[in-house]
Amino acid sequence: MINDRRRNRVLILFAHPAFEKSRVNRRLVDAIKDLEGITFHDLYEAYPELHIRVEREQALLEQHDVVVLQHPFFWYSTPAMLKEWEDLVLQHGWAFGKDGTALQGKKILNAITAGGRESAYQPKGYNHFTIRQLLAPIEQSFRLCGMEYLPPFVAHGTHGMGHEVMDRHADEYRRFIIALRDDTLNWSALAGLERVNADLDALIRDV
């Protein structure tokens, strides 16, 4: 039955340079890695020397409808591997520019774990900017490629995060990825959200 509902091919591009020490991403990955219809691609594992195979990455993107960039928030941005990936894979004439239409109409979002709490990511908080503001270069890069950029999934306050909270994030991440795959999200309710996992019940349609 579930095959009948499945509509989107979801690619999770995962980047964590010290995954062996990870607590939160480990839990999130464990929650989704074996889902049917999801491709999980660990960039640091695939390219320990940072030598990205551009054609392989472009082929993967072409084969999927929704891309999730999952990573810890490092210096208000992505780990270096994802920046390298952007710089090499999003080529002129393929991703953007004349004839660069390979990514048109696909959807993309960040799934982030952040040490800082949500209250810190406010104009008056110690990080001064919201996560969405800080993600603006990524949002605009993929918009330039004709993709629809969705609000991020964010697990805030990772330092000392307890198992109960990690379990909740893992459950919500799994639910969200399944909704992306099965196309059960209320897409119009996503626009303008700071993060998708503040109130998942309001976003996921009953089927």
- Site residues for ligand FMN per CB under 6 A: 16, 22-25, 72-76, 113-116, 158
Pick the closer one to ligand FMN by CB: 73 or 96. 73
Minimum separation from the CB atom of position 183 to ligand FMN (A): 28
CA distance 196 to 189: 10
Three-state helix/strand/coil letters over the chain = CHHHHCCCCEEEEECCCCHHHCCHHHHHHHHHCCCCCEEEEEHHHHCCCCCCCHHHHHHHHHCCCEEEEEEECECCECCHHHHHHHHHHCCECCCECCCCCCCCCCEEEEEEEECCCHHHCCCCCCCCCCHHHHCHHHHHHHHHCCCEECCCEEEECCCCCCHHHHHHHHHHHHHHHHHHHHCCECHHHCCCCCCHHHCHHHCECCC
Minimum separation from the CB atom of position 101 to ligand FMN (A): 34
Minimum separation from the CB atom of position 175 to ligand FMN (A): 19
CA distance 62 to 204: 26
Pick the closer one to ligand FMN by CB: 116 or 151. 116
Minimum separation from the CB atom of position 74 to ligand FMN (A): 4
Pick the closer one to ligand FMN by CB: 79 or 151. 79
Minimum separation from the CB atom of position 153 to ligand FMN (A): 13
Minimum separation from the CB atom of position 34 to ligand FMN (A): 19
Pick the closer one to ligand FMN by CB: 8 or 113. 113
Pick the closer one to ligand FMN by CB: 23 or 56. 23
* Contact indicator for 44, 83 with CB cutoff of 8 Å: no
Pick the closer one to ligand FMN by CB: 28 or 185. 28
